[in-house]
């Protein structure tokens, strides 16, 4: 027996679901957190907030995923079809095919030892819907599986391939692993390997956008695995309390390398965490480009107009291995992967949507695949022949100007290389 003092009873979480109206997408249901819920805890004085019944809050209802189009490419409720023009839909589909083809060629190139590393997007191609819903001013913070955003924004095949070869044309000057793209021109922040670092950065960038009064938001992608990092919590809380216009976009593909999501969390995925931080949240079908498009568009509008963060969790499946350093047959059934690839493939879904409208044919498919394959192989051959970045770039760009100790180290290295040409062949490096 024990006695419970009234003051010790606290209601831990009060989740309120509301239907928030948006001018264009009035019926997307978001788990919304009302403004006065964000009042400080110091407001816990009025007696109606206290009860004398001891009640632990148990598992909440699973947040359902918003879907527009099923696996046959059929739109379930025509009101939710974003009704993009033929040109816009073809841009999305062609971007998917380009990404898919590039993934195939560069993955094989790593297997042949021609590049050092690669990561594919198989199964997650519908994410391109998020790219279509943004404007070029929106700042992107990716994890590493977001080349779709760059494809959509016009990063050229040469730019992709030069980065993967770490050659002298790579913007990072060979100092990052392949797929760590970045583009100032396209408002895409350079990828960094340590998981989760982009999350507080995106919150900070959003706060800067808020202060400057820009008509833009930041969009931060991460996997459900990265959401286990402390940076995830810091980033979400910072954006929520500072009311910053950022869209947190979790690609929940079921795996963090070999760890299935069932071993990553006990709660209701990542969506439940957004609600916990007082952030309006939606879960979507991650294989449905139109669900992703509608949710991102609505989230952008809310983030900018209402100056607050929004969280989207897209439920999908990683069909490819985690990276070229992984063999997923060691921890999951090959059959399961094949079934997912066949039955619920985001590329096939969009293709069926196009075919239902008579906007695409097998001939167009064959011709387009052939064309992009040729373009990628041409870029590939040219990039492979390029020199590596000049050795001096081992030292540049950390500071605006080289510091005295870096100058000393640089000179020491260059002298060493000159002294022992039999060990250090510099032919394959650019001279400046
Ligand atoms: C801080 C940190 N810890 C561990 C790693 C190693 N690592 C790289 S990717 C990855 C899994 C991430 O999974 P998830 O975020 O779900 O993204 P996915 O690869 O599934 O797209 C891990 C553990 C890392 N890069 N950084």
Active site residue 322: yes
Angle CA 56–57–61, to nearest 5: 155
Strands (E) across 68-198 are located at: 139-141, 188-189
Burial zone of 363 (CB within 10 Å; 0-12 exposed, 13-18 middle, 19+ buried): exposed
* Number of Cα atoms under 13 Å in the Cβ half of residue 334: 3
Is residue 314 within 8 A of residue 292, CB to CB? The reply is yes
Region 334-356: mean pLDDT is 95
What is the rounded CA–CA span in Å between residue 243 and residue 240? 5
* Residue 309: both structure tokens together: 């963060």
Question: Do residues 414 and 294 share a domain?
Answer: no
Distance 262 CA to ligand 1 centre (A): 16
- Quick check: is 19 in a domain? no
How many structural domains comprise the chain? 2
Question: Do residues 123 and 242 share a domain?
Answer: yes
Is residue 239 within 8 A of residue 198, CB to CB? The reply is no
**Pairing of β 188-189 and β 139-141:** parallel
HEC sequence for 17-58: CECCCCCCCCCCCEECCCHHHHCCHHHCCCHHHCCCCCCCCC
Question: Do residues 374 and 417 share a domain?
Answer: no
Comparing CA positions, the residue from 17, 59, 83 lying closest to residue 357 is 83
Question: Given 80, 180, 300, 318, which residue is catalytic?
Answer: 318
Pocket test for ligand 1, best of 148, 193, 194, 256 (most atoms within 8 A of CB): 256
Whether pLDDT at 65 is above 60 = yes
Nearest ligand 1 atom to the CA of 261 is 16
Is residue 252 within 8 A of residue 286, CB to CB? The reply is yes
Whether pLDDT at 138 is above 60 = yes
Active site residue 318: yes
Question: Do residues 186 and 224 share a domain?
Answer: yes
* Residue 222: both structure tokens together: 């991460």
Least confident of 48-62, 119-133, 138-152: 48-62
Distance 109 CA to ligand 1 centre (A): 23
Question: Do residues 293 and 422 share a domain?
Answer: no
Nearest CA to ligand 1 atom 13: 256
Nearest ligand 1 atom to the CA of 229 is 1
Q: Return the percentage of the chain with pLDDT > 90, whole number.
A: 86
Question: Do residues 316 and 418 share a domain?
Answer: no
What is the rounded CA–CA span in Å between residue 345 and residue 353? 13
Q: Which residue has the higher pLDDT, 72 or 42?
A: 72
- Quick check: is 165 in a domain? yes
Domain extent for 320: 78-385
Comparing CA positions, the residue from 228, 297, 265, 268 lying closest to residue 22 is 297
Distance 273 CA to ligand 1 centre (A): 19
- Around ligand 1, the residues with Cβ closer than 6 Å are 145, 193-195, 222-226, 251, 253, 255-257, 318, 322
What is the rounded CA–CA span in Å between residue 7 and residue 44? 11
Question: Do residues 400 and 325 share a domain?
Answer: no
Region 272-278: mean pLDDT is 97
Is residue 385 within 8 A of residue 163, CB to CB? The reply is no
Strands (E) across 54-158 are located at: 65-66, 139-141
Active site residue 171: no
Distance 195 CA to ligand 1 centre (A): 6
Pocket test for ligand 1, best of 149, 195, 321 (most atoms within 8 A of CB): 195
Region 149-170: mean pLDDT is 98
Question: Do residues 259 and 408 share a domain?
Answer: no
69 SS3 class: strand
Question: Do residues 410 and 354 share a domain?
Answer: no
Question: Given 10, 16, 111, 331, which residue is catalytic?
Answer: 331
Distance 265 CA to ligand 1 centre (A): 15
What's the whole-model pTM score? 0.90
Nearest ligand 1 atom to the CA of 145 is 21
- Quick check: is 189 in a domain? yes
- Quick check: is 318 in a domain? yes
- Distances 275 to 21, 172, 195, 296 between C-alpha atoms, Å: 18, 37, 22, 17
* Residue 326: both structure tokens together: 């992984």
- Quick check: is 182 in a domain? yes
- Quick check: is 195 in a domain? yes
Strands (E) across 12-79 are located at: 65-66
CATH number at residue 132: 3.40.50.970
Question: Do residues 83 and 210 share a domain?
Answer: yes
Nearest ligand 1 atom to the CA of 253 is 20
- Quick check: is 335 in a domain? yes
Distance 15 CA to ligand 1 centre (A): 30
Whether pLDDT at 71 is above 50 = yes
Element (H, E) at 246: strand 246-252
Whether pLDDT at 30 is above 70 = no
- Distances 294 to 24, 30, 75, 125, 346 between C-alpha atoms, Å: 9, 12, 13, 16, 16
- Quick check: is 3 in a domain? no
- Residue 432 has what pLDDT? 84
């Amino acid at each position: 027996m024990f006695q419970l003092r009234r003051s010790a009873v606290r209601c831990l979480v009060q989740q309120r679901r509301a239907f928030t109206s948006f001018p264009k997408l009035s019926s997307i249901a978001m788990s919304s957190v009302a403004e006065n819920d964000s009042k400080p805890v110091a407001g816990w004085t009025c007696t109606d907030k206290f009860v004398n019944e001891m009640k632990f809050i148990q598992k909440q209802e699973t947040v359902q995923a918003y879907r527009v189009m099923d696996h046959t490419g059929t739109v379930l409720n025509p009101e939710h079809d974003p009704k993009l023009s033929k040109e816009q839909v073809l841009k999305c589909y062609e971007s998917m095919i380009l990404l898919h083809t590039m993934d195939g060629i560069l993955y094989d190139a790593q297997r042949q030892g021609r590049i050092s590393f690669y990561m594919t997007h198989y199964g997650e191609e519908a994410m391109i819907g998020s790219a279509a819903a943004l404007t070029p001013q929106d700042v992107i913070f990716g994890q590493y599986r977001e080349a779709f955003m760059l494809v959509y924004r016009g990063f050229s095949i040469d730019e992709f391939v030069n980065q993967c070869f770490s050659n002298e044309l790579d913007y990072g000057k060979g100092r990052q692993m392949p797929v760590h793209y970045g583009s100032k021109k396209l408002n895409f922040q350079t990828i960094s390997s340590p998981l989760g670092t982009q999350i507080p950065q995106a919150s900070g960038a959003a706060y800067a956008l808020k202060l400057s009064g820009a008509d833009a938001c930041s969009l931060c992608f991460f996997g459900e695995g990265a959401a286990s990092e402390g940076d995830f919590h810091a980033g979400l809380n910072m954006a929520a309390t500072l009311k910053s216009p950022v869209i947190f976009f979790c690609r929940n593909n079921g795996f963090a390398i070999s760890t299935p999501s069932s071993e990553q969390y006990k709660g209701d995925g990542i969506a439940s965490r957004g609600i916990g931080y007082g952030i309006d949240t939606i879960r979507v079908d991650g294989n449905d480009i139109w669900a992703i498009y509608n949710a991102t568009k609505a989230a952008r509008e809310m983030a900018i107009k209402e100056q607050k963060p929004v969280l989207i969790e897209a439920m999908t499946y990683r069909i490819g291995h985690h990276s070229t350093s992984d063999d997923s047959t060691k921890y999951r059934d090959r059959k399961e992967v094949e079934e997912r690839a066949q039955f619920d493939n985001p590329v096939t879904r969009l293709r069926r949507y196009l075919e239902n409208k008579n906007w695409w044919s097998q001939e167009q498919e064959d011709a387009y695949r052939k064309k992009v394959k040729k373009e990628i192989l041409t870029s590939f051959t040219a990039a492979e022949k390029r020199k590596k970045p000049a050795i001096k770039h081992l030292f540049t760009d950390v500071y605006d100007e080289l510091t005295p100790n870096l100058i000393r180290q640089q000179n020491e290295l260059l002298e060493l290389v000159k002294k022992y040409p039999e060990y250090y062949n510099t032919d394959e490096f650019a001279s400046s």
